[in-house]
Amino acid sequence: MKPIPWILKFILLSILTLSIVGSINFILDPLQQYRKAHFYKPIYDNERYLNPGLAKTYEYNQVIIGSSMTENFILSDAKEILGFNKPIKFCMSGATAYEIKIMLDSAYQHRKIDSVIYGVDLFSFTGETTRLFDGEGSLPFYLYDNNRLNDYRYLLSFDTLKFFVDSFVLPKPEVMFDLNRMYQWQHKSNEDDFNGTDRLDEWSEKYGFNPDYSKSEFTLKALKANIDTNLIPLIQNHPETTFYLFYPPYSILAFKDMENKGWLNTVELFKRHLLTQLAHYPNVKIYDFQASKEVTCNLDNYKDLLHYHQRINRWMLEEMKKENYLTSDKGKFGRLNRSLISNIHGCGIQ
Amino acid sequence: MLFNSYEFIFFFLPITFGIYFWLNKKRLTSASKGWMVFASLFFYSWWNVIYLPLILGSILFNFTVGSSITHINTTHLLKKRLSSKSLLTFGIFANVLLLVYFKYMDFFITNANTFAGTHFNMMHIVLPLGISFFTFTQIAYLVDAYRNEVKEMDYLNYTLFVTFFPHLLAGPILHHKEMMPQFDDIRNKVLNTKNISAGMYLFAIGLFKKVVIADTFAIWASYGYNHTASISLMSAWATSLSYTFQLYFDFSGYTDMALAVALLFNIKLPINFNSPYKALNIQDFWRRWHMTLSRFLRDYIYIPLGGNRGGEFRTYSNLFTVFLVGGLWHGASWMFVIWGALHGVAIVTHRLWQQMGLKMNTMLAWFITFNFINITWIFFRAKGWDDAVNILSGMFGLNGIEEVSDLLEFGGLSTIDLFMMGVVFILGISTFFTPNSNQLVSSLRLTNKSMVFGLFLMCMGVLHLSKISTFLYFNF
């Protein structure tokens, strides 16, 4: 063959092949960026990619958002207990405060949101204020904006096709297809995994509860900066939304570990800062479930030193309704904080 | 801008190419050179324009020094050679100082704080893109000017030589004398369809090597290197081999793309990789791996140090020094120094072996060489000494042996990813038996078969530019 026809064929067929793959990805749209799935049962997986799609294509009035501490909430529980009518979850495993802000900003562009349940996981607030959980490039910003032109990254991607095949062709547990239980991890563990004896073993082996976090990252400066940049503006800009902020009840062993690492004071100052910054906003409720002896001291609630059983998620919704753990003023704040400290030594766990 | 990006493939390259040849067709050759310089600087500034003044300053400085050296050499008598030598020394010193400031300052500060007990604050200087490459290229130019091997009195030409975007960020490290005649050759200013077809084919191969093969190995390699604690036998081997293949496919794939892009403009860059993992001894490896760096180190460090002219002991110490410098050139860390030292020791050992006239069975020689390279890459890749030792202990079975099923779960890959990993692993192994990209291109025949093969590699490459990152964090 002469070079010119070879070159032309190469270029034209490349363009053709890429257009075909792009069109297939557009039609399959496994991450529901353009429309709600209708000819297949969608899977709720790969949160950072699926969330911005759902934000555009699903109907919702309430949002549950946060790290793995929020992934086990069941939407029907939120309807039943808090009277939500159209809730959705935009949780992200290992979510950072920045990622949560990006996600909520995106959701606000598409829908009116009357309530947000926001899991204030301390670890979400560590590090830089633009920290992404899995490093640079791990959040597909091109799906979070309103610009369709940059979606070629989604369409011209073999991974999009792979995601379709992997999710819909290969067998997966039924619960992953259930919108009501979207993103939950409860089913990945056995009931036996929630076991106090194992937790004590884990503790006695001095297995730091989260070795990924070094002491230097857990600084008050970083925690405060994340509150100021990634949380407060959301609340300021959306007075129409009620924010249910809550501190997830890690096991008491996690707090013992924090005490050993000298972090407890930082935790208190972090919470105090959040309260002082937000006390005068009528659209915020802050719940401190870390003060709850009945949850944190019962190690059978935990599958590791941080992560609690799904029943605790339901319990938290009930407690939000009852407002027992609401830290509305400095007096209430002090009482809750004192009970957290006294639990560390008063649970009868040595 | 990276070659493996949508912006480069669909916008930057076609536009730069089109305008360059259009200007040449209009016989506006200076304008076409100017356009190429502009495009290259745009390419360089794509992410961050902040270092543009730095590279321009470095170019202006080196051009001034280089052309002054040439001027002194050509117009003055022999006694003036002294001043051209001092000018050269000054030029090299300034270049090295720039590199030290940007690349090694924090390294020195950390070491001073550790060993001398000082309390200097780290400067957290961000490394300007390609600084190691453009600094070395220009040091070579200064030396060549001093040796009267180049005479460049045109600023635009010189800027084009340094910034020509195919080699700007990741080499190959070029000599002025192998580049500028090509730019000035009138025959290279018209479209050459043979070069274009070969360039497209080579680009497709390079892109595939980088984004499909290397980036797939990277998943396993980075997972392994991030989880070195008590890593077991098979996982440790999988980790170290994955990185060994990742590095080769990444760097050689990227270089293939550089050569390919230059070829579209009728410029032939020197090859940089020649099946290094087929090497039968360590010297052979360094003649096949990052060849232009080896050439640089030989011509501008080893030979000026005296090479092999100062007796056996001096030769060995020169070889070792070259490898220490080579190690440190790769990055500001003791791990690179250790890596360089290990290779230095190996080169010296190999030379001793040769001097004694000993021979070795080919298969055994390959086996030892490859394993040595594989093990030394661990020091190159690991974040610290402990991680490196962990991987090594794993590889020697000190952390126990896991079930095969555990190995498959290692890295938490999905079924499809595991399948891809298998395919890529076979491709990795195949490098030992198949021709490399340079050989594939030189034997390219323009048939439907080669077109379909290139098309497949190209499309797979483009479809792998954007990844849905899988989170290798399954302990939520």
Which two structure tokens, joined as six digits, stand for A119? 């899991």
Most confident segment among A16-25, A317-326, B246-255, B359-368: A16-25
Q: How high does pLDDT run on average in chain B?
A: 86
The answer, yes or no, to whether residue A307 has pLDDT greater than 80, is yes
User: What's the pLDDT score for residue A84?
Assistant: 94
pLDDT band at B69 (very low <50, low <70, confident <90, very high): confident
Task: Please name the residue of chain A whose CA is at the shortest distance from the CA of residue B474.
Answer: A93
User: What's the pLDDT score for residue B411?
Assistant: 57
Residues A252, A296 contacting (CB under 8 angstroms): yes
The verdict on a CB contact (< 8 Å) between B467 and A159 is yes
- What are the residues whose beta carbons fall under 8 Å from the beta carbon of B324, sequence distance 6 or more? B337, B340, B341, B344
The verdict on a CB contact (< 8 Å) between B6 and A17 is no
User: What's the pLDDT score for residue A218?
Assistant: 77
The verdict on a CB contact (< 8 Å) between A7 and B468 is no
Where is pLDDT greater, at A349 or B330? B330
Where is pLDDT greater, at B35 or B76? B35
Q: CB of B469 within 8 Å of any CB in chain A?
A: yes
Q: Is A262 left (phi over 0), alpha (psi -120 to 50) or beta?
A: left
User: What's the pLDDT score for residue B86?
Assistant: 85
- Tell me the average pLDDT across A207-222: 63
User: What's the pLDDT score for residue B11?
Assistant: 94
Chain A nearest C-alpha distance from B226 (Å): 10
User: What's the pLDDT score for residue B197?
Assistant: 94
Best mutation target among A28, A159, A170, A212 (most B Cβ atoms within 10 Å) is A159
The answer, yes or no, to whether residue B38 has pLDDT greater than 50, is yes
Kindly report, residue by residue over B210-240, the tens digit of the pLDDT.
Answer: 999 888 888 888 888 887 877 888 888 888 9
Out of A3, A133, A162, whose CB is closest to B194? A3
Where is pLDDT greater, at B383 or B431? B383
Report yes or no on whether pTM surpasses 0.90.
no
Out of B420, B455, B466, whose CB is closest to A157? B466
Which two structure tokens, joined as six digits, stand for B141? 């130019």
Kindly give the interhelix angle for B131-146 and B176-184, rounded to the nearest 10 degrees. Answer: 90
Where is pLDDT greater, at B202 or A45? B202
User: What's the pLDDT score for residue B407?
Assistant: 66
Percentage of chain B modeled with pLDDT above 90: 31
User: What's the pLDDT score for residue A10?
Assistant: 95
User: What's the pLDDT score for residue B209?
Assistant: 92
The verdict on a CB contact (< 8 Å) between A156 and B455 is no
Residues A223, A247 contacting (CB under 8 angstroms): no
Residues A82, A115 contacting (CB under 8 angstroms): yes
Chain A nearest C-alpha distance from B458 (Å): 7
Chain A nearest C-alpha distance from B467 (Å): 6
For the annotated catalytic residues of B, the residue numbers are 330
pLDDT band at A205 (very low <50, low <70, confident <90, very high): low
User: What's the pLDDT score for residue B473?
Assistant: 42
The answer, yes or no, to whether residue B77 has pLDDT greater than 80, is no
Kindly report, residue by residue over A250-284, the tens digit of the pLDDT.
Answer: 998 888 888 888 888 899 999 999 999 988 899 99
User: What's the pLDDT score for residue B409?
Assistant: 64
* Distances, alpha carbon B354 to alpha carbons A333, B123, B314, B350, B360, in Å: 78, 46, 17, 6, 10
User: What's the pLDDT score for residue B459?
Assistant: 95
Kindly report, residue by residue over B191-201, the tens digit of the pLDDT.
Answer: 999 999 999 99
Which two structure tokens, joined as six digits, stand for B160? 């084009």
Lowest mean pLDDT among A162-176, B33-47, B198-212, B268-282: A162-176
User: What's the pLDDT score for residue B256?
Assistant: 93
302-341 in A: which are within 8 Å (CB) of B? 304, 307
User: What's the pLDDT score for residue B470?
Assistant: 53
Out of A7, A153, A165, whose CB is closest to B197? A7
**Burial annotation A84-104 (CB, 10 A radius, 16+ → b, else e):** beebbbbbbbbbbbbbbbbbb
User: What's the pLDDT score for residue A239?
Assistant: 93
pLDDT band at B82 (very low <50, low <70, confident <90, very high): low
pLDDT band at B476 (very low <50, low <70, confident <90, very high): very low
Chain A nearest C-alpha distance from B58 (Å): 30
The answer, yes or no, to whether residue B259 has pLDDT greater than 60, is yes
User: What's the pLDDT score for residue B76?
Assistant: 63
pLDDT band at B185 (very low <50, low <70, confident <90, very high): confident
Percentage of chain A modeled with pLDDT above 70: 95
The rounded distance, in Å, linking the Cα atoms of B139 and B118 is 33
Q: CB of A157 within 8 Å of any CB in chain B?
A: yes
- Tell me the average pLDDT across A235-243: 94
- Beta strands A115-119 and A284-288, pairing class: unpaired
User: What's the pLDDT score for residue B457?
Assistant: 94
The answer, yes or no, to whether residue B472 has pLDDT greater than 50, is no
- Which residues on chain B are in Cβ contact (under 8 Å) with A158? 460, 463-464
The single-letter code of the amino acid at B243 is Y
Best mutation target among A10, A176, A209 (most B Cβ atoms within 10 Å) is A10
Kindly report, residue by residue over B114-164, the tens digit of the pLDDT.
Answer: 887 777 777 677 777 888 888 888 998 998 888 888 777 788 888 998 999
Where is pLDDT greater, at A85 or B311? A85
Where is pLDDT greater, at B441 or B414? B441
pLDDT band at B474 (very low <50, low <70, confident <90, very high): very low
User: What's the pLDDT score for residue A232?
Assistant: 94
φ, ψ for residue A302, nearest 5 deg: -120, 145
Lowest mean pLDDT among A84-88, A330-334, B414-418: B414-418
**Farthest CA pair distance, chain B:** 76
Chain A nearest C-alpha distance from B249 (Å): 20
The verdict on a CB contact (< 8 Å) between B446 and A138 is no
Give me the sign of the Cα torsion angle A317, A318, A324, A329.
Answer: positive
Q: CB of B361 within 8 Å of any CB in chain A?
A: no
**Burial annotation A302-333 (CB, 10 A radius, 16+ → b, else e):** bbbbbbbbbebbbbbbebbeeeebbbeeeeeb
The answer, yes or no, to whether residue B180 has pLDDT greater than 90, is no
Q: Provide the Cα torsion A15, A17, A22, A23; round to 10°.
A: 110
User: What's the pLDDT score for residue A216?
Assistant: 55
163-182 in A: which are within 8 Å (CB) of B? 163, 165-166, 170
- Tell me the average pLDDT across A202-230: 72
In the 3-class helix/strand/coil scheme, how is B202-265 assigned residue by residue? Answer: HHHHHHHHHHHHHHHHHHHHHHHHHCCCCCCHHHHHHHHHHHHHHHHHHHHHHHHHHHHHHHHC
- Tell me the average pLDDT across B60-82: 78
**Burial annotation B422-440 (CB, 10 A radius, 16+ → b, else e):** eebbebbeebeeeebbbeb
Q: Which letter does DSSP use for residue A306 in this model?
A: S
Q: Which alpha helices (DSSP H) does A168-251 contain, by range? A: 196-204, 220-226, 232-237
The answer, yes or no, to whether residue B383 has pLDDT greater than 90, is no
- Tell me the average pLDDT across B390-401: 85
The rounded distance, in Å, linking the Cα atoms of B342 and B362 is 22
Burial class (CB in 10 A: 0-12, 13-18, 19+), B110: middle
pLDDT band at B79 (very low <50, low <70, confident <90, very high): low
User: What's the pLDDT score for residue A210?
Assistant: 52
The single-letter code of the amino acid at B210 is K
The verdict on a CB contact (< 8 Å) between A163 and B468 is yes
The rounded distance, in Å, linking the Cα atoms of A288 and A307 is 16
- Tell me the average pLDDT across B283-312: 87
Out of B416, B450, B471, whose CB is closest to A162? B416
- Tell me the average pLDDT across A139-164: 90
User: What's the pLDDT score for residue A149?
Assistant: 87
Reference B168, options B59, B20, B266, B298; nearest CA is: B59
The answer, yes or no, to whether residue B384 has pLDDT greater than 90, is no
